[in-house]
Amino acid sequence: MLESKGTIKSTVLNYGIIMGGLSVAFSLMLFIMDMHYQNSSIQQWTGLLIMAGSIVFGQLAYKQANEGFISLGEGMKIGIGIVALGSSIGILYGLFQGYVLDPETMSKAMQYAINQAIDQNPELTDEMIEGIEGAFEFFANPFLSSAIGITVSLFFGSLISLLTGLAVKKNRTA
């Protein structure tokens, strides 16, 4: 790990790389288990937990390196920076996985989603199934899905950063 000097930049770099590394490790585990296309709620919660943990530990490390002080603004900058870097690493790995390791990921995900929809609602018509396929084809664009991914990550990262920033803040007295 990189040595922290108590700066926002070093904290973001350290914990952003940790978040990205954990995200890639989790994605690799799912890939090895052939579950990378299923997108279950447990997978989503695990990603959120990785994000929240990285933000909290980053904010606490910065606070400790700065004599126990951290403002809400600093906490927000740290959290959003960590999420931006960590999510970018995760998205780059996702593109590599989708193009190189398993180019059939989107078709597997589409077939899995259709099978799930049919299991949950056996009365689906062919038109409804075609609608599901059309939605998948629209979102199969890697740049669109990457943009959506980073936007959603930054939204949740901002919320988590705000809440944890409020919890850990300790301003210097004038």
Q: What is the pLDDT of residues 60-89, one digit of tens each?
A: 999 999 989 999 999 999 999 999 999 999
Residue 174 binned pLDDT confidence (cut-offs 50, 70, 90): low
**pLDDT > 70 fraction of the chain, expressed in percent and rounded:** 95
Interhelix angle 41-65/142-168, rounded to 10 degrees, is 50
* pLDDT surpasses 50 at 2: no
Q: Give the pLDDT of residue 1.
A: 41
The answer for residues whose C-beta is within 8 angstroms of residue 113's C-beta and 6 or more apart is 132, 136
> 16-25, 34-43, 96-105, 143-152: which range is least confident on average?
34-43
Confidence (pTM): 0.84
Q: Give the pLDDT of residue 77.
A: 97
**pLDDT > 90 fraction of the chain, expressed in percent and rounded:** 53
Looking at residue 69, the DSSP 8-state letter turns out to be: -
Q: Give the pLDDT of residue 143.
A: 81
Angle at 64 between CA 22 and CA 89, to 5 degrees: 20
* pLDDT surpasses 70 at 28: yes
* pLDDT surpasses 70 at 5: no
Q: Give the pLDDT of residue 133.
A: 81
* pLDDT surpasses 70 at 44: yes
Which of residues 113 and 23 earns the better pLDDT score?
Answer: 23
DSSP H stretches of helix in 6-125:
8-32, 41-65, 72-96, 105-120
Summarize the confidence of residues 30-34 as an average pLDDT: 89
Q: For 84-141, what is each residue's pLDDT tens digit? A: 999 999 999 988 988 898 888 777 877 887 888 888 888 878 888 888 788 777 777 7
Beta partners for residue 170, in sequence order = 70
